Amino acid sequence: MGGGSELPATGGASKRELLLCVLPWPEESFKKIWEDIAKEFPQYDLHYYETKADRGKIQLPEEVYKDVVILATLNWVPQSASLVPSLELVQFYSAGLNHLPDKSIYKDSEIPLATASGVHGPQIAEWVVMMNLVHSHDYTRFYDAQKRKEWLGFGGLNMRDQVGQRVGILGYGSIGRQVARVAKAMGSDVLAYTASPRHTPESRRDDGFIVPGTGDPDGSIPSKWYSGLDKESLHDFLKQELDLLVICVPLTKDTTHLLSSDEFAVLEKSNPLGTYVVNIARGAIIDQPVLVKALETKQIRGAALDVTDPEPLPQNDPLWTAPNVLITPHVSGSTTVYVERAFQILHENLRRRRDGKKFVNLVDRKRGY
């Protein structure tokens, strides 16, 4: 346990509020921002438990459960909401909460839940662009030749640059907005898709956490905006002759296997040159056996996947050997400043609690994100 006294103070007017962090990173990795929080908010007892990301069942002293007011965590939560009667906010350090709906703190309470949405935009957008360019420039073929010490000679006439290409972003949140910003800078046309309509300038604004100088804060980049929760609306978006389709939606009951046989058929019919599909969200959003078939039959031009279903991807899964697929092990969101940015969201929400303002990145339990 680190930061503050061994246990929170009890009783009397001087009682301080317990801010508990349960995270898999060493405390030294965020020492500066931890000290900044302690300086600005001396009313909190700051307690830190370092745990591994896969250890979801740690046990804390009863006093901690009883007195915790703010919880910052990657994926650990108390087994029951009744254990934390004073809890006023859970600040998650992940963007997706698809692991949470069956947990008591989600279904049995109204405790505000906030995500780390916004910290991933820059690095994931770079991953998307990197993978798209690796494919479009046929880089893997040249790299393989380099390892063989073979000079392939003149080539590249089949390469198409990004100017004028149409990029469809399925889920226009913080990640999608930064992808849009970079794609626009490269000369591409951007189309956005969201679950709910965004007909007014105000509705297109991004009210979540934004890394300064990134994203699309006012929602002005897309040349056209599509929306809806039904298949007809989704297909209307997919039939827009997309050169690149970037999947950024959260995984919910409604988005599980959102892309399956019908959707790949629409993509194929819409773009004879083939759509390149990129998934940085969750593997189960795509019907994976159908994706393998779409790659084998050239319904799509290729795919770049940072997520699969399941994870880790079994060695005998046919996705590994499908043609024109690039796979990484759920690392596109990694960056040396991830923890620092996530703590910035916690810091902002502490300020909002103090000032009586609405928390940033709040989860809508009905929508699942």
User: What does the pLDDT look like over 11-21, one tens digit per residue?
Assistant: 444 578 999 99
Distance between the two ends of the chain, CA-based, in angstroms?
31
Residue type, 122: P
Q: In this predicted structure, what is the pLDDT of residue 4?
A: 39
Contact 261, 287 (CB under 8 A): yes
Q: In this predicted structure, what is the pLDDT of residue 156?
A: 63
CA distance 80 to 96: 21
* Total-model pTM: 0.90
Q: In this predicted structure, what is the pLDDT of residue 138?
A: 92
Domains of the chain: 17-119+336-355 (3.40.50.720), 121-327 (3.40.50.720)
Residue type, 365: R
CA distance 86 to 18: 9
CB within 8 Å of 216: residues ≥ 6 apart: 177, 178, 180, 181, 206, 222
pLDDT < 70: residue spans in the chain: 1-14, 53-57, 155-157
Q: In this predicted structure, what is the pLDDT of residue 3?
A: 43
Buried-state track 165-188, b at ≥16 Cβ within 10 A, e below 16: bbbbbbbbbbbbbbbbbbbbeeeb
Contact 38, 57 (CB under 8 A): no
Contact 130, 182 (CB under 8 A): no
Q: In this predicted structure, what is the pLDDT of residue 55?
A: 52
Q: Where are the beta strands (DSSP E) in the chain?
A: 17-23, 44-50, 68-73, 89-92, 113-114, 166-170, 189-194, 224-227, 244-247, 276-279, 302-305, 325-327
Contact 238, 244 (CB under 8 A): no
Q: In this predicted structure, what is the pLDDT of residue 72?
A: 97
